[in-house]
């Protein structure tokens, strides 16, 4: 715990960026190395302000690029301490090389990622292009829907990443502006409770432990590379157990419950939307209204995007008749990633729902209650007829002629 | 025992405990291993070492083996500087927090990079580390070419050298640009200590490395590393070619303290012509055709002018 305590009210008004900054501060991070980029800049600015006012005992290194930020994080983590950073979009793209290295070297770094579109055209608003870009990088990816969740799950992220059975970096995603710049009431933990929940950092193969010299970042070719990558995947798959445990521990402490797959209204749902981020919150409102109309609607989200909770999703979607998989990322010449993953989850199961892919919200285009209502109403028709209304993929909320692809 | 190691003569050097072991796969005659041994042997302190992707890295850390009996890290091509800078920041943090006791001696942080990693792809990272003032030593193993990948030009490749991406041919004399003056650039960062060293002048080198280790802040060492494979001389000629490099003043040995105090640390008794240095390396053999003689002449003029410049700066203390 940092030596200077910040007195927090039980409920503070924070946006998602402040929630991430406060979680970093309470985690008593040893080294934060970062570079500012919209919309995650305030995470770094808030942290700098904490430091300037004596609330940070660790080192805060303002580097010259996001690539350098993640490089310094890797060096610092290998040296043997708690490390975190924040970024978005182009910055995340610049980091990608080192993200793979952080994961391959099994360094438990925490990244607060404020999701934003990828250029071109340049755009500072929220979509999930950057989250999708990093999905094979070997990081645990967790999706949040609100500033409260950013706070809670960033605290959990340190505990998950640093667990001795895990040692995998964790990326906590939140929607640019919709979460990062939207102030809400946040139920806080006091500094000691938060820091105790995470626990002390457990060093593994620390470069600053000179009793046991260690070589990080070796060369492996066809003789060993596959074994290393296989073990890395295995560790990721096994991390799910720890993620569930940490979520359970957090619930015990706060009463706030998190699950690898979040769902609302799914108990009896005949139509369902699968989506990440703040869209989940909007859909909850729509689900409530539709239930009043007698429509059995539900919303489901892989809170944990990696390791992908394939079995949980499949189990919860068995009785659904029509599903729209909503991807907030330009699919680049195929169906969206979420559509692919849900298809994969269901293919070996008995369920054969009508499955459509909606591309929406690129570059911060709003997904409103009324548009979601229309999507659900279309799903109802598909559930009744047992077949797609049109093509598998369609773009929703884009101006110009309709864009529909892939016939069933 | 900590601090600088006293190296009186070659015997004491050759029998010193090794933290860079012989079990590497660098080419026979490669100067990298000589330089790395000389640097690691210059201190008794604990070491955190990084290497950028390149010859040194791929030849010394091939799983499940390692040549490094010290803390070592490799991330990528461009960021060996930032890797140790991150470790240095962690060292500061853990000491401030009392998780590393004040009784534990401070380690030394050393980053190695080739000229490709230093002059080209990693320059921004290096510049950032020096601007921030991390307490570290960056050593460029300067063999003037991307040797690890088979001899492509870098911005350290001198004019007239034949490299695979700037080859000499019937209408080309090879590399067209002059070598980037990295030493002046690093001194201009406000680095407290910048020096050029060569492994053949090992006493001069050890003295500078000691000074570098005693200096607080970011230290830049440009180490001339004659490359048997890409400069195309025989493996047993490494030191002879290195002697030609330092004695022709193509690689003048000097240091710059706090950006202003320039000291020439080696004055050859007999300055040899640049022509002799070039003639010992088949990468320059096409320059000896009559049509390219002017390039050798120009090169000699450049070396003379630079030597004059160094002497004037040494005198003027600016």
Number of independent structural domains in chain A: 2
Residues of A in contact with B131 (CB under 8 A): 64
ipTM for this prediction: 0.97
Based on the fold, state whether residues A216 and A299 are members of the same structural domain.
no
* A18 is a domain residue: yes
Listed by number, the residues of chain B in 242-301 with a beta carbon closer than 8 Å to a beta carbon of chain A are none
To the nearest whole Å, the CA of A30 is away from the closest chain B CA by 6
Based on the fold, state whether residues A173 and A38 are members of the same structural domain.
yes
> Residue B53's closest CA among B33, B30, B76?
B76
Among A136-150, A353-367, B4-18, B26-40, the minimum mean pLDDT is found in B4-18
Q: Could you give the dihedral angle defined by the CA atoms of residues A289, A290, A291 and A297, in that order, rounded to the nearest 10 degrees?
A: -130
Residues of A in contact with B61 (CB under 8 A): 215, 217-219
* A1 is a domain residue: no
Long-range contacts (CB closer than 8 Å, 24 or more residues apart) made by B251-255? B251/B196, B251/B198, B251/B224, B252/B196, B252/B306, B252/B307, B252/B310, B253/B195, B253/B196, B253/B197, B253/B198, B253/B201, B253/B204, B254/B195, B254/B196, B254/B310, B254/B314, B255/B193, B255/B194, B255/B195, B255/B196, B255/B208, B255/B211
pLDDT tens, residue by residue, A303-332: 999 999 999 999 999 999 999 999 999 999
pLDDT tens, residue by residue, B266-316: 999 999 999 999 999 999 999 999 999 999 999 999 999 999 999 999 999
Based on the fold, state whether residues A72 and A113 are members of the same structural domain.
yes
Based on the fold, state whether residues A49 and A174 are members of the same structural domain.
yes
Residue B98: other Cβ atoms inside 10 A: 9
Its domain, for residue A132, covers 11-254
Assess whether pLDDT exceeds 70 at residue B1.
no
Based on the fold, state whether residues A192 and A86 are members of the same structural domain.
yes
Structure tokens at B56: 């040194």
Report, in this order, helix, strand and coil percent for chain A, each rounded to 5: 40, 20, 40
Based on the fold, state whether residues A179 and A280 are members of the same structural domain.
no
Question: How far apart are alpha carbons B60 and A290 in whole angstroms?
Answer: 64
Among A163-172, B34-43, B232-241, the minimum mean pLDDT is found in B34-43
Domain end point (choices A254, A282, A297): A254
List CB contacts of B304: < 8 A, sequence separation 6 or more.
none
Residues of B in contact with A30 (CB under 8 A): 90, 93-94, 97
Residue B159 contacts A, CB cutoff 8 Å:
no
Structure tokens at A395: 């773009």
Question: How far apart are alpha carbons B75 and A311 in whole angstroms?
Answer: 35
pTM (global) more than 0.95: yes
> Residue A45's closest CA among A139, A112, A92?
A112
pLDDT tens, residue by residue, A11-38: 999 999 999 999 999 999 999 999 999 9
CATH for A326: 3.40.50.920
Question: Rounded mean pLDDT of chain B?
Answer: 95
Residues of A in contact with B127 (CB under 8 A): 64
Question: How far apart are alpha carbons A246 and A275 in whole angstroms?
Answer: 24
Structure tokens at A189: 């933990």
**Which CATH superfamily includes the segment(s) B10-316?**
Thiamin diphosphate (ThDP)-binding fold, Pyr/PP domains (3.40.50.970)
* A6 is a domain residue: no
pLDDT tens, residue by residue, A273-309: 999 999 999 999 999 999 999 999 999 999 999 999 9
* A3 is a domain residue: no
Q: What is the mean pLDDT of residues B101-106?
A: 94
* A354 is a domain residue: yes
Based on the fold, state whether residues A45 and A158 are members of the same structural domain.
yes
Assess whether pLDDT exceeds 60 at residue A260.
yes
Based on the fold, state whether residues A34 and A171 are members of the same structural domain.
yes
pLDDT tens, residue by residue, A386-397: 999 999 999 999
Residue A67 backbone phi and psi in degrees, to 5: -60, -45
To the nearest whole Å, the CA of B127 is away from the closest chain A CA by 9
* DSSP states of chain B: --SBPP--SHHHHHTSPPSB-S---PPTT-HHHHHHHHHHTTB-S-EEEEE-TTHHHHHH-BTT---BSSEEE---SS-HHHHHHHHHHHHHHHHHTTSS-TTSPPPEEEEEEEHIIIIIITHHHHHHHHHHT-S-EEEEEE-SSBTTTT-B--TTSPTT--BTTB-EETTEES--SPPP-HHHHHHHTT-SEEEEE-TTSHHHHHHHHHHHHHSSS-EEEEEE---TTTT---GGGHHHHHHHHHHTTSS--EEEETTTEEEE----SSPPPHHHHHHT-GGGGGGGSGGGHHHHHHHHHHHHHHHHHHHHHHHHT-
pLDDT at B2: 67
* DSSP states of B83-95: HHHHHHHHHHHHH
Percent of chain B topping pLDDT 90: 91
CATH for A221: 3.40.50.970
List CB contacts of B35: < 8 A, sequence separation 6 or more.
B139, B141, B197, B199, B205, B223, B225
pLDDT at A46: 98
* A299 is a domain residue: yes
Are the C-beta atoms of A314 and A345 separated by less than 8 Å? yes
Strands (E), A170-264: 170-175, 184-187, 215-216, 262-264
Inter-chain touch A208–B91, beta carbons under 8 Å: yes
Residues of A in contact with B130 (CB under 8 A): none
Listed by number, the residues of chain B in 55-114 with a beta carbon closer than 8 Å to a beta carbon of chain A are 57-58, 61-64, 66, 68-76, 78-79, 82-87, 89-94, 96-97, 99-100, 107
Residues of B in contact with A101 (CB under 8 A): 75-76
* A5 is a domain residue: no
Inter-chain touch A215–B66, beta carbons under 8 Å: yes
Domain end point (choices A219, A254, A289): A254
> Residue B222's closest CA among B277, B172, B156?
B156
pLDDT at B16: 67
Based on the fold, state whether residues A84 and A179 are members of the same structural domain.
yes
Domain end point (choices A200, A227, A254): A254
Question: Rounded mean pLDDT of chain A?
Answer: 98
């Amino acid at each position: 715990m940092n030596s200077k305590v910040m007195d927090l009210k039980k409920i503070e008004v924070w946006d998602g960026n402040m929630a991430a900054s406060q979680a970093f501060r309470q985690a008593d991070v040893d080294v934060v190395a970062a570079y500012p980029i919209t919309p995650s800049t305030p995470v770094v600015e808030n942290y700098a302000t904490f430091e300037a006012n004596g609330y940070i005992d660790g080192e805060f290194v303002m580097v010259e690029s996001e690539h350098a930020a993640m490089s310094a994080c890797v060096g610092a983590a290998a040296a043997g301490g708690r490390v975190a950073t924040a970024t978005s979009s182009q910055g995340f793209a610049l980091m990608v090389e080192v993200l793979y290295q952080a994961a391959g070297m099994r360094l438990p770094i925490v990244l607060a990622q404020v999701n934003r579109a990828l250029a071109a055209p340049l755009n500072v608003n929220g979509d999930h292009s950057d989250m999708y870009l990093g999905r094979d990088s070997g990081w645990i990816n967790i999706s949040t829907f609100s500033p409260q969740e950013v706070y809670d799950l960033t605290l959990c992220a340190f505990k998950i990443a640093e667990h001795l059975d895990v040692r995998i970096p964790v990326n906590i995603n939140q929607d640019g502006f919709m979460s990062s710049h939207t102030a809400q009431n946040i139920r806080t933990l006091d500094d000691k409770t938060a820091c105790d929940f995470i626990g002390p950092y457990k060093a593994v193969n620390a470069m600053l432990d000179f009793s046991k010299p260690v070589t990080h970042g070796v060369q492996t070719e066809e003789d060993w590379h596959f074994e290393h990558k296989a073990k890395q995947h295995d560790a990721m798959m096994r991390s799910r157990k720890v993620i569930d445990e940490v979520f359970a521990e957090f619930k015990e402490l706060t009463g706030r419950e998190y699950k690898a797959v979040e769902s609302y209204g799914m108990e009896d749902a005949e139509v369902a939307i699968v989506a990440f981020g703040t869209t989940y919150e909007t859909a909850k409102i729509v689900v409530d209204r539709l239930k009043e109309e007698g429509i059995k609607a539900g919303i489901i989200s892989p809170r944990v995007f990696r390791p992908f909770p394939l079995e949980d999703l499949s189990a919860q979607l068995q009785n659904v008749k029509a599903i729209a998989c909503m991807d907030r990322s330009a699919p680049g010449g195929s169906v969206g990633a979420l559509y692919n993953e849900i298809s994969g989850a269901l293919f070996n199961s008995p369920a054969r729902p009508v499955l459509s892919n909606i591309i929406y919200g690129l570059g911060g285009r709003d997904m409103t209650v009324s548009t979601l209502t229309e999507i659900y109403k279309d799903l109802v028709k598909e559930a009744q007829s047992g077949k797609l209304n049109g093509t598998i993929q369609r773009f929703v909320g884009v101006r110009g002629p309709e864009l529909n692809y892939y016939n069933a | 025992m900590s601090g600088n190691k006293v190296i009186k003569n070659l015997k004491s050097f050759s029998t010193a405990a090794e933290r860079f072991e012989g079990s590497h796969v660098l080419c026979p005659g490669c100067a990298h291993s000589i330089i790395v041994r000389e640097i690691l042997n210059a201190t008794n302190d604990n070491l955190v070492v990084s290497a950028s992707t390149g010859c040194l890295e791929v030849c010394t850390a091939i799983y499940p083996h390692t040549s490094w009996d010290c803390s070592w890290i490799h991330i990528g091509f461009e960021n060996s500087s930032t890797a140790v800078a991150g470790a240095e920041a962690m060292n500061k943090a853990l000491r401030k927090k009392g998780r590393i006791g004040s009784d534990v001696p401070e380690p030394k942080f050393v980053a190695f990079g080739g000229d490709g990693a230093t002059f080209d792809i990693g320059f921004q990272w290096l510049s950032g580390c020096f601007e921030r003032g991390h307490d570290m030593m960056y050593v460029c193993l300067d063999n003037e070419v991307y040797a690890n990948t088979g001899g492509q030009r870098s911005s350290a490749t001198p004019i007239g050298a034949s490299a695979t991406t700037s080859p000499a041919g019937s209408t080309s004399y090879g590399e067209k640009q002059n070598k980037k003056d990295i030493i002046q650039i690093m001194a201009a960062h406000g680095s407290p200590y910048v020096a050029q060293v060569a492994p053949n002048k090992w006493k001069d080198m050890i003295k500078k490395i000691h000074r570098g280790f005693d200096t607080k802040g970011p230290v830049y060492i440009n180490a001339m590393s004659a490359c048997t494979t890409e400069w195309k001389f025989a493996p047993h000629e490494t030191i002879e070619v290195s002697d030609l490099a330092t004695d022709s003043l193509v690689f003048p040995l000097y240091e710059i303290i706090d950006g202003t105090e320039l000291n020439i640390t080696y004055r050859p008794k007999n300055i040899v012509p640049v022509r002799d240095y070039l003639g010992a390396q088949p990468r320059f053999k096409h320059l000896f055709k009559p049509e390219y003689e002017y390039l050798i002449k120009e090169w000699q003029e450049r070396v003379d002018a630079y030597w004059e410049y160094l002497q004037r700066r040494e005198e003027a203390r600016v």
